[in-house]
Amino acid sequence: KASALFPAGGGRSMVAALPPALPVLLLWGNRDPVIGTQNAEHVRAACLANGIQCDYVELDAGHCAHDDAPEAFNSEVLRWLGSRFTPGQ
């Protein structure tokens, strides 16, 4: 299903606008009734096709993973940032 965030191209146009040097952390709720996890696969494939590193983490959450599972969401964001940046950068 197409939407503003995920056009008929499965997110390709959104991802194509990103610079290849920009890594992406894709956190997705595995119980998302609005978009569904199949769109995460489209975004991941679009990242790969555009040479963009995409780290995917599926959370036990619904559409708003940051609301449904804030501790898990924040933990993954901090883990991901810590793996890429050192303090003071």
Give this prediction's pTM: 0.77
Residue 46 DSSP SS3: helix
The kind and range of the H/E element at 38 are helix 38-49
What is the per-residue pLDDT across 59-82, written as a single tens digit (0 to 9) for each? Answer: 999 999 999 999 999 999 999 999
Share of the chain above pLDDT 70, in %: 83
Question: Tokens 């975004």 appear where?
Answer: 43
pLDDT given for residue 12 in this prediction = 56
